[in-house]
Amino acid sequence: LKHFSNQRWKTKVEEFTGIHNNPSEIISKLIQNSFLILGTSANKDNFLQLALNVDSSKTVKLSINELENYLILLSKKLSINWNRKGIRPAHQPIQRMKLAAELVKYFQESYSPNHLNISDLIQNFYLLCPSASGKGIQTEITGNIILPYCASNALFVKDYSQYYKCQEEWQNLKIPEPYQKYSRKFRHVINKSYLTYFWVLQGAIQLEKFWCKKELCDICPLKTNYGNC
């Protein structure tokens, strides 16, 4: 799982390679990746569509409230058909718009083509995104976006100590509860408590994506050591 986790980490870091000198492109990438986290599986494509149409030149001077209204109006303009059935109230798309606005503002203010300090980035995230109050969503955004972005920037400016600090922070992240999908699938080979470690969960996601979905069960390393999944 450590091997699969490292693969996933490198993939996330490499998403930002080659665009650090292009403010509009990297901010757009950060917004797109963060909006994907805001949507449940039923709304991921809808949030991505919204992110792809955010005009940073129009939003950079807006307040959080103005940004929230901008996103709501933009979703109506795009005629996005939000899925609401079976989604908990707190995860309804309209309830996510405040956090979406805060994330746009956060990434616009945090972008730098030069040295980024991970401690400052995370502190500013908590400061500028108060709607990300749950430990789960904080960990998702930190682990999937902030740490890989900062690590990629560290490689860009050749600050290798900062890169390894980001990777160490990534490996220390924990979520309150493991994803039910992976808990059910791997419960007899991976202790549930281990799946609260972000790096273990990411390794399980990588394994499921590139082994389970390709039906490579006969040569699966978990099967070899522990039996069938």
For residue range 177-213, list pLDDT tens digits in order.
Answer: 878 888 888 877 888 888 899 999 999 888 888 887 7
- Give the model confidence (pLDDT) of 106-150 as tens digits: 999 988 878 889 999 999 999 999 999 889 999 999 999 999 999
Q: What does the chain look like in DSSP terms, one character per residue?
A: -HHHHHHHHHHHHHTTTT-TT-HHHHHHHHHHHHHHHHS-TTTHHHHHHHHHT--HHHHTT--HHHHHHHHHHHHHHTT-----TT--GGGSHHHHHHHHHHHHHHHHHH--SS---HHHHHHHHHHH-TT--SHHHHHHHIIIIIHHHHHHHHHHTT-HHHHHHHHHHHHH-B-SS--HHHHHHHTTTS-GGGGGBHHHHHHHHHHIIIIITTT-GGG-HHHHHH---
- Give the model confidence (pLDDT) of 63-101 as tens digits: 999 999 999 999 999 999 999 888 888 788 999 999 999
Highest mean pLDDT range out of 40-44, 170-174, 209-213?
A: 170-174
Q: Which of 15-29, 136-150, 210-224 has the weakest average pLDDT?
A: 210-224
Q: Which pTM does this prediction carry?
A: 0.89
